[in-house]
Amino acid sequence: VNGDSDAKNLRVKLVLLGDSGVGKTCIVLRFVRGQFDPTSKVTVGASFLSQTIALQDSTTVKFEIWDTAGQERYAALAPLYYRGAAVAVIAYDITNPDSFHKAQHWVKELQKHGSPDIVLALVGNKADLQEKREVSVQDGIDYAEKNGMFFIETSAKTADNINQLFEEIAKRLPRPPP
Ligand code: GDP
């Protein structure tokens, strides 16, 4: 949680990590613009968007979202993006077990090198593709529980659980003193 936050208005750096193609850009565009564009372009390096939400206790949370490229050749840049992040959202595709394993790699890296009080969220995206599912809900739950992470399955395509993802993260943020 950034320095110019106060008790009522938090400003939060959030970084999205995960394999290329799991739907990171689509999750952000669904959350920020309410849209799904199936032809969304591959993220090169990283891109930045922000979105503010209001919570029930009348606090607001402004998410500054860094959407990173999943490609291997950008992996060395990742520390630049997660440095100082209050939240890391680590995404995989429920139809792609490799992407689930890659997510676990990111979790380990963040546990080692991320901020000590970072909020980690594990997201199984493309939950609309039930007939192609290859990672069970239980596998996601179990891994997240073992690692003290928040877990949710989303669909950027149908918008299922996208707002909930960010609302749940907001509730888990450490609050600055009033
Ligand atoms: P990124 O590389 O992780 O940023 O992935 P993108 O956001 O570019 O999405 C990769 C591909 O997956 C695109 O063709 C999207 O249309 C598709 N996609 C993303 N999210 C979903 C989803 O929730 N459901 C389905 N069925 N496809 C999705």
pLDDT in tens, 87-118: 999 999 999 999 999 999 999 999 999 999 99
Per-residue pLDDT at 109: 94
CA-nearest residue for atom 6, ligand 1, is 23
Copy the structure tokens of residue 47.
């891109």
Cα 32 to chain centroid, rounded: 13
Q: Which residues approach ligand 1 with their CB closer than 6 A?
A: 18, 20-26, 38, 40, 43, 70, 125-126, 128-129, 155-157
Q: What pLDDT digit, counting tens, does each position of 47-61 carry?
A: 789 999 999 888 899
Residue 3 has pLDDT above 60, yes or no: no
Which of 122, 98, 94 lies closest to 108 in space, CA to CA? 122
Q: Whose CA is nearest to atom 19 of ligand 1?
A: 23
pTM over 0.90: yes
Question: Does residue 2 register a pLDDT over 80?
Answer: no
Is the Cα torsion angle 127, 163, 114, 172 positive or negative in sign? negative
Q: Is the pLDDT of residue 71 over 70?
A: no
pLDDT for 85 equals 95
Distance 177 CA to ligand 1 centre (A): 39
DSSP summary character for residue 45:
S
Closest CA to ligand 1's atom 27: 126
Question: Pairing mode, if any, of strands 119-125 and 60-68?
Answer: unpaired
